[in-house]
Amino acid sequence: MQQLTVELGERSYPIFIGSGLLEQRELFAPYIAGKQVCIVTDDTVAPLYLDALCRTLDGYQLSRVVLPTGEAYKNWTTLQQIFDTLLASRHDRRTTLIALGGGVIGDMTGFAASCYQRGVDFIQVPTTLLSQVDSSVGGKTGINHPAGKNMLGAFYQPRAVIIDTASLRSLPPREVSAGLAEVIKYGLIRDETFLDWLEANMQELRGLDHDLVTQAIARSCAIKAEVVAADEREGGVRAILNLGHTFGHAIEAQQGYGQWLHGEAVGAGMAMALDMSRRLGWIDAAACDRGIRIIALAGLPVRPPETMTPQDFVRLMAVDKKVLDGQLRLVLLEAIGKAVVTAEFDTETLQATLAQGHP
């Protein structure tokens, strides 16, 4: 087992990474303050791992919330089901929520924990590659609004992140590729050597080679932990974790949440960020083409949907959380491995990038 720490003073917490951790009661116990635990999961993950986790936590007063699966349910109505169960089962302020599932479950459970009785503890048990490398770490929680992704939420850190790599065995290939989008993101924004390694091992990673995937998770979590520790609430550098997301979130909202997976939209969005960085002369054509090739190698789209117009992008990107005083800011690349958050681009260049996918 490997252990990392997200260094946030009194809110610091561990990330445990290893196979079979779902069964290790001693990893959970120190982070559960009271007797009451509420496990939140979805109806795809429940038949796979809920019983195992309940056995691990035998002896606690357990409630279970099984939500409908998917991005389309990351909303107020579904969130309400968590509060309904907590109240019906008389959960008090010493309750611990456990998010067992992918990023949708993690984001919603964290948000519920931030609100319930003004805040209770929660633990992340991520079961998709995407949630193991990204969403379970860093404390961004929330839900979608029809007008924009993750528009309602809170920064609220978990007490611990317990990553059982064995849970990836049941993950469909499309979800593996979606997770690899965020892994590639870390290489593009922070670590060219890691990107080289990803390129060399992409087929094995897509095949879920256990040792290589564990290495990819550990390096991804280390980069994320470092960035979050430097800027927990995204006043500055944390925004680099949003590479490709301004374009990607617009794609998710325009297509209808769940049509394009988050990782797929981020894949196409990162290709657009690479394209725009090249058009601005910040990276050369070879670097741009290489970045796009690696995204494609992971089985991800590298172009926006043909049905999406530049006007659709402009409308949806206007609500991006990085917009300040009406000014759009984007994460672009100065070099492979070096991202910047910038408003220093001209409208013509942006339009040229937005028009790429539109025949």
Ligand X SMILES: NC(=O)c1ccc[n+]([C@@H]2O[C@H](COP(=O)([O-])OP(=O)(O)OC[C@H]3O[C@@H](n4cnc5c(N)ncnc54)[C@H](O)[C@@H]3O)[C@@H](O)[C@H]2O)c1
Ligand Y SMILES: O=C(O)C(=O)C[C@@H](O)[C@H](O)[C@H](O)COP(=O)(O)O
> Residues 18, 70, 305, 310: which binds ligand X (CB under 6 A)?
70
Q: Nearest distance from residue 140's CB to ligand X, in Å?
A: 4
Question: Taking CB under 6 A as the rule, does residue 103 contact ligand X?
Answer: yes
Annotated binding-site residue? 74: no
Contact criterion met (CB below 8 Å) for 147 and 134: no
Judged by beta carbon distances under 5 to 8 A according to partner kind, the member of ligand X, ligand Y, none in contact with residue 321 is ligand Y
- d(Cα 60, Cα 347) in Å, to the nearest integer? 57
Taking the C-alpha atoms of residue 104 and residue 41, their distance in angstroms, rounded to an integer, is: 9
Amino acid at 237: V
Minimal distance, residue 89 CB to ligand Y, in Å: 29
- Nearest one of 263, 271, 270 to 182, comparing CA atoms: 263
Q: Which two tokens stand for residue 174?
A: 């499309």
H-assigned helices in 298-331: 310-317
Distance CA(41)–CA(170), nearest Å, equals 15
Q: Would you say 149 or 219 has its CB closer to ligand Y?
A: 149
Residues numbered 214-273 forming contacts with ligand X, rule: CB under 6 A: 262-263
Q: Are 280 and 352 in contact (CB under 8 A)?
A: no
149 annotated among ligand-binding-site residues: yes
At residue 39, φ and ψ (nearest 5 deg) are: -90, 125
Cα distance between residue 305 and residue 310, in whole Å: 11
Question: What's the CA gap between 204 and 135, in Å, rounded?
Answer: 23
Window of 39-47, 77-85, 112-120, 277-285 that interacts with ligand X by CB under 6 A = 39-47
Kindly state whether residue 264 participates in binding ligand Y, applying the rule CB under 6 A.
Answer: no
The yes or no reply on residue 157 touching ligand X (CB under 6 A) is: no
Question: For ligand Y, which is the closer residue by CB, 17 or 57?
Answer: 17
User: Which of 63, 74, 91, 330: binder of ligand X (CB under 6 A)?
Assistant: 74
Instruction: Output the smallest distance, CB 41 to ligand Y, in A.
Output: 20
Give binding residues for NAD(+) as ranges: 103-107, 127-128, 140, 149
Binding site for ligand Y (CB under 6 A): 134, 138, 140, 149-150, 182, 234, 238, 241-242, 245, 321
